[in-house]
Structure 1
Amino acid sequence: MKLLDPRGFGMVCATGAVAIGLVVAGCANRVEGSPSPNASDLAAYKTEATSSSAAATSSRRAAAQAKAISDNCGPFPTTTGAGVSKYNEFVDAHDSNAPDYVAKRDGAASTLEDAANTVERGVSAVKDTLPPDLASKFTEYVNAARALADETRRMTYTAPVSALNDASKRVNDARNVVRDSCPKR
């Protein structure tokens, strides 16, 4: 029995492959038309992509807003509470004609200003993401705390207390409005 010659066998296979390729190429049809997407499919895709992008943007915006609210509402009671405590110490010193009255007055005014500055910095840092109504309530607190600090600095034993009382009521009201507007923990 004679074995196949590998070169001859390879040549037969190569010739067969070329012949089959020519037959397939000759039978192929050209597709008429222009290469463009289906207009309705393209419109649907663009609408879906836009919707998805808008949802992602909205989600990021909502997360940023929640963080801004938390970052400002969370420390607010502690930050402003220090001013309340120092102010109450000043009022007690004033009412009792305490020898450290001036120091308590100046300490209360400084603490109120520090609280106002801290709240203002927090709001300014996130002004575009904090809801405008909440931002305005924080700003009212800042203005009220500064006004109370000014009135506190002007206070003497003989000065009338009506302006101080009015400023104190304003800051308390502003503080309560912010606390009521912030989410409960």
Structure 2
Amino acid sequence: MKLLNPRGFGLVCASAAVAVGLVLAGCSNTVEGTPTVNQAEVTTYKAEAASSAAAASSAKAAAAVAKATADNCDPFRKSAGNAVDRYNEFVDAHDASAADQLAKRDAAATALEDAAKGVETQLTATGAALPADLVGKFTEYVTAARALSAEIRKLSSGASVAPLNDASKKVNDALTAVRNACPAK
């Protein structure tokens, strides 16, 4: 059996390629005329492009709002929860006239001040991305928490607890409003 000659085989392949190229070139034809733009398609394309850009912008804005909401609501739950725990410990100690009543009073006032400061700091950090109604609810909480902290610090052994109870109700209302406005976890 005789093997193929590589040079001869290469020459046959090259000749075949040239022949196919000549046939294809001979079969082609040109299109006469002047190219024009289909205005209906251009208008449709522009409308679709604008719609797509608007959707992308809307999605980006929604993502920013979701991030700002999470950035505020998540830390709020922790700091407000801590403040509520310290306040309840103080109320229990005050009602029982416990020996550590003053220490728990100061801890409750400090926890409320810290929670208010943390919420306020986070609001400032997120800027305009947070919806205005949620900003208002957080701001009401900050004001109410600071007012309750001030009432706690004023409370002495024989003083009326009515101002403390009023301030506590305002904090509870503000806390509930924020919790209801924040997405559930």
TM tier relative to shorter chain: 0.7 to 0.9
Q: How does 1:104-183 map to 2 (within 5 A)?
A: 104-183=104-183
1:94 aligns with 94
Question: Could you tell which deviates more after superposition, 119-128 or 43-52?
Answer: 43-52
> 1:80–1:115: 8 Å Cα contact kept in structure 2?
yes
Structure 1 position 48, deviation (Å): 2.5
Cα distance in 1 between the residues matched to 2:49 and 2:175 = 45
- For structure 1, the residue ranges without an aligned partner over 5 or more in a row are 1-28
Cα distance in 2 between the residues matched to 1:98 and 1:134 = 39
Percent identical residues: 54
Cα distance in 2 between the residues matched to 1:121 and 1:159 = 33
Cα distance in 1 between the residues matched to 2:90 and 2:36 = 79
Question: Match of 1:107, SS?
Answer: helix
What is the number of residues matched between the two proteins?
Answer: 156
> 1:127–1:135: 8 Å Cα contact kept in structure 2?
no
1:67 aligns with 67
Summarize the Cα distance change of 1:141–1:36 in structure 2 as closer, same or farther, 3 Å threshold. Answer: farther
Name the aligned partner's letter for residue 161 of structure 1: V
Summarize the Cα distance change of 1:47–1:157 in structure 2 as closer, same or farther, 3 Å threshold. Answer: same
Structure 1 position 101, deviation (Å): 2.1
Residues 75-112 of structure 1, C-alpha deviations (whole Å, 9 max, x = no match): 32221011111111111222222222222111111110
Cα distance in 1 between the residues matched to 2:36 and 2:148 = 71
Cα distance in 2 between the residues matched to 1:113 and 1:157 = 22
Cα distance in 1 between the residues matched to 2:86 and 2:50 = 54
**Rg: which structure is higher?**
1
Q: How does 1:23-42 map to 2 (within 5 A)?
A: 40-42=40-42
Name the aligned partner's letter for residue 103 of structure 2: A
Name the aligned partner's letter for residue 91 of structure 2: V
Question: Could you tell which deviates more after superposition, 63-72 or 38-47?
Answer: 38-47
- For structure 2, the residue ranges without an aligned partner over 5 or more in a row are 1-31
Structure 1 position 69, deviation (Å): 1.5
Moved over 6 A (4+): none
Structure 1 position 37, deviation (Å): 5.5
> 1:151–1:167: 8 Å Cα contact kept in structure 2?
yes
Question: Match of 1:75, SS?
Answer: helix
Question: Could you tell which deviates more after superposition, 70-79 or 114-123?
Answer: 70-79
